[in-house]
Structure 1
């Protein structure tokens, strides 16, 4: 028997949203046959980065037009939903990761597309948010019945990384025994690492660490690493400080840090605020951040375990069960 078709696009790119979509496709790979369109936002031939989301919406229009009468369901999470017909929307699971006008590099066109998107979301068969904040956000726009399915992690992989010899990991990345390693997350635009670097500058016992593709140059130590080395680096770090300007969907970086027993300071904004409230992490204070970092580095083990235990609810099994149930519902 041929499996039903699910249409989406290739989860290309380094963001948490692409990781989430990749996990959805993996979790349901034996339920549906995935038909994946190109994600033009992350294709290298764009050249000029400004307006890449708008160009993606334009370029994918013909691909979507060819699917108007195609059988199957859709799992979608970007602005190109504006091309969907009512019949396509009735078979669509839409994922809202976050909404951030500050990310719009062509705002005169992008914001108009967002408003069209918000008007279409209520016609979708199901709507998934990655944190309660975004479910409330949509409810304020008249979208009810959303489902929250949190970002999830391979807990066995995390457990193995947490068991690594910390001294060996610190030596690998050149940290001295008395040096505090402060993890600032991804070195991306609007992630707030510039502010963290400025407020911690001049402290000889601290070293700010960032990861991922380096879009801003602020950290004392930046690493763009494969997954295993990235987890070894997390094992090194003493404290996480996350002060994004943008409205985060959730923050996979912060959640991974907490799962590694790293006490954090989390700015309580949008989905990151949900994560802070769930795990009991305090907010960073601009006027005493250096003192806070040292205080958090001394957080007791029981507090670290409590935050980790809370997040272990978001296992791959949880994620797989939630998504398989949702996809099955649309297929019946």
Structure 2
């Protein structure tokens, strides 16, 4: 059985991790897939030293595998490690504008190093046409588009479950507007400012990374899906060029209408599912107001979104990954 080694520096539960985890499970049905984890163990707080420790641990990787699958950081150290086999990177996006301003020049340099090292890769995997075009314009010809995949059965949530969820979190009596993951790059501050006068529950989720008066819920995945299902509208006003937008896609699978910034790969998702693209934050209030006032419009938009989003099954995702591995071997 062919061996695949998948390098990760962290197992934090974010959109990119969910993609990678499903890919490992999918490939594990046909290949010997090994997770190679190089977590921070010493410098957990001071960022410059954290970065140096990550680079040191990645540079010490060695061994033979038919395929090595890497992230951005593992490509930076690829010339220094002692791995043998086909080399693949998964890039969800290449936008560091959500990082602190002082660190952006540093990441610009790292991106140039990545582009130099990436010339020796056997495949660059991206998650949207936006990023496929981006890398092809930089002269790469070995770029492969593998869209996100989802367990469609996870999105079968009853109205009874929704009602119990709303009651348990005291979210009854008013419409729920979900603003996204509680992070500055996700545009939740701007969304809250635009919508704060609505008689509605404004909700974020995940670890609170920015202080806004919205109600923030730290939820297990099933309860997070119940939140999306219970919402009248999901707002995804990301400020950076998204790889795709799993949040928007998950909402569409639950037939909840989405209004999003359309940044990066998110645009093809929203336009494909005939959702609402809001490029100007000053227009957000008007767009949300329209959906809240029109139940028929909400339902029709939700149905359109579901028809498009439901094409992205885990079976399709698995077939695309297996096809890629067979092609490069």
Any conservation in 1 of the 2:27–2:33 contact (CA below 8 Å)?
no
* 2-structure distance, mates of 1:196, 1:77: 31
CA shift, 1:51, in A, is 6.5
Match 2:141 to one of 136, 141, 144: 144
* 2-structure distance, mates of 1:99, 1:135: 11
* 1-structure distance, mates of 2:67, 2:122: 10
Q: Deviations over 1:57-108 (max 9, x none)?
A: 2331112xx23xx242111122221222499697112211101122445344
Q: Deviations over 1:269-322 (max 9, x none)?
A: 101122122112222343342231121233242331121111111011111111
User: Matched residue of 1:209: which SS?
Assistant: strand
| Structure 1 equivalent of residue 314 of structure 2 | 316
Alignment of 1:1-332 (within 5 A): 3-10=1-8, 12-40=11-39, 45-49=43-47, 52-53=50-51, 55-63=53-61, 66-67=62-63, 70-85=64-79, 91-104=86-99, 106-158=103-155, 160-161=156-157, 164-177=160-173, 179-203=174-198, 205-284=199-278, 285-297=280-292, 298=294, 299-331=297-329
* 2-structure distance, mates of 1:296, 1:130: 29
Any conservation in 2 of the 1:82–1:113 contact (CA below 8 Å)?
yes
* Structure 1 pair 165–12 and aligned structure 2 pair: CA distance change class (3 A): closer
* 1-structure distance, mates of 2:311, 2:325: 21
* 2-structure distance, mates of 1:164, 1:50: 49
CA shift, 1:206, in A, is 1.5
* Structure 1 pair 46–39 and aligned structure 2 pair: CA distance change class (3 A): same
User: Matched residue of 1:73: which SS?
Assistant: strand
Q: Deviations over 1:168-218 (max 9, x none)?
A: 3322221233x1211111112311000011111232x11211111111122
Q: Deviations over 1:223-273 (max 9, x none)?
A: 111112112222211101111111111111111111111111110210112
Any conservation in 2 of the 1:173–1:233 contact (CA below 8 Å)?
no
In the comparison of the two structures, how many residue pairs are matched?
A: 321
* 1-structure distance, mates of 2:285, 2:106: 41
Higher strand share: 2
* Structure 1 pair 330–287 and aligned structure 2 pair: CA distance change class (3 A): closer
* Structure 1 pair 165–5 and aligned structure 2 pair: CA distance change class (3 A): closer
* 2-structure distance, mates of 1:156, 1:184: 25
* 2-structure distance, mates of 1:258, 1:44: 41
